């Protein structure tokens, strides 16, 4: 169930009661908003983080204040061993993961001719390889349970391209391709796989923009404003809910119309 007025959200039916959700990169920004939204909808939530332990535990405290079962677990989800241990700990604390949101991501922007191999590898590993690793482990229990939902957080720039982001757009484009393939592979087991392509969202990545740069971005958006992390979180909540039971293999643009401009 979606509530569109973010200032008057109120009580919501716990449509995800009994579900266990893992949100990677959930200590801040979009990941934090997603974790809180899934908790608001009734899921038990694992807040995954790599370096921001303090912020992750702040999200954990908010979830528990909502009455949710929740844990915060540090793990580098671009490393296979870390991912295996992460899922073992979640299973021990909360139960088998039935909702996976592959949100972890970084940027290392530069023009192609100046882009280092290390910056290419680090972005592909964090933004794309992590989704492969987490989806692979999650799929095992989802197949056994014959239910599950995976949502990959891609980006509208994967559809449009963006100067200085060859590594980022390649990773996010890979997420979209991965989404469609996993939807085909896992659909017969009642596992749905979708992606969300956010536009420009008010996060740490955009908060430092100059007024002129901010205005340039806004002028490209049909709705005339940047989105908020909660806009993405509510879309994730929808895709994970029974309301989206017949939706799989799709890419939902949440971009204020940016991709039409």
Q: Yes or no: say if 30 and 232 are a contact pair by the CB < 8 Å rule.
A: yes
At 58, which helix (H) or strand (E)? helix 53-65
Q: Does residue 132 have an active-site annotation? A: no
Q: Yes or no: say if 191 and 149 are a contact pair by the CB < 8 Å rule.
A: yes
- Neighbour-count burial of 6, counting CB atoms closer than 10 A to its CB (0-12 exposed, 13-18 middle, 19+ buried): exposed
Strand partners, 165: 110
Rounded to a whole number of angstroms, the distance between the first and last alpha carbons of the chain is: 30
Q: Residue 190 CB: number of other CB atoms within 10 A?
A: 15
Q: Yes or no: say if 109 and 153 are a contact pair by the CB < 8 Å rule.
A: no
Q: Mapping DSSP to helix (H, G, I), strand (E, B) and coil, where does residue 151 land? A: strand
Among 49, 132, 168, 246, the active-site one is 168
| Range list of H helices, 8-116 | 29-40, 53-65, 80-93
Q: Residue 107 CB: number of other CB atoms within 10 A?
A: 16
DSSP per position, 40-54: HTT-EEEEEESS-HH
Active-site annotation, residues: 168
């Amino acid at each position: 169930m979606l509530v569109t007025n973010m200032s008057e959200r109120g009580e919501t039916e716990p449509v995800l009661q009994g579900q266990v959700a893992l949100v990677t990169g959930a200590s801040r920004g979009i990941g934090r908003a997603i974790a809180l939204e899934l908790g608001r909808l009734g899921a038990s939530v694992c807040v995954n983080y790599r370096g921001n332990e303090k912020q992750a535990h702040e999200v954990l405290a908010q979830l528990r204040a909502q009455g949710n079962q929740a844990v915060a677990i540090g793990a580098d989800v671009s490393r296979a061993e870390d991912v295996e241990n992460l899922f073992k700990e979640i299973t021990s604390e909360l139960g088998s993961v039935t909702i996976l949101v592959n949100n972890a991501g970084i940027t290392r922007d530069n023009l192609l001719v100046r882009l280092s191999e290390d910056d290419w590898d680090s972005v592909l590993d964090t933004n794309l390889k992590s989704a492969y690793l987490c989806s692979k482990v999650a799929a095992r229990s989802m197949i056994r349970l014959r239910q599950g939902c995976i949502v990959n957080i891609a980006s509208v720039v994967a559809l449009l391209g963006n100067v200085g982001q060859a590594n980022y757009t390649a990773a996010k484009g890979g997420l979209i391709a991965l989404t469609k393939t996993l939807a085909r592979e896992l659909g017969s087991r009642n596992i749905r796989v979708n992606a969300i392509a956010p536009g420009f969202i008010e996060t740490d990545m955009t908060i430092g923009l100059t007024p002129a740069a901010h205005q340039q971005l806004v002028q490209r958006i049909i709705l005339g404003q940047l989105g908020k992390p909660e806009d993405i979180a509510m879309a994730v909540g929808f895709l994970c809910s029974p309301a989206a039971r017949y939706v799989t293999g799709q890419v939902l643009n949440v971009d204020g119309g940016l991709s039409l401009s």
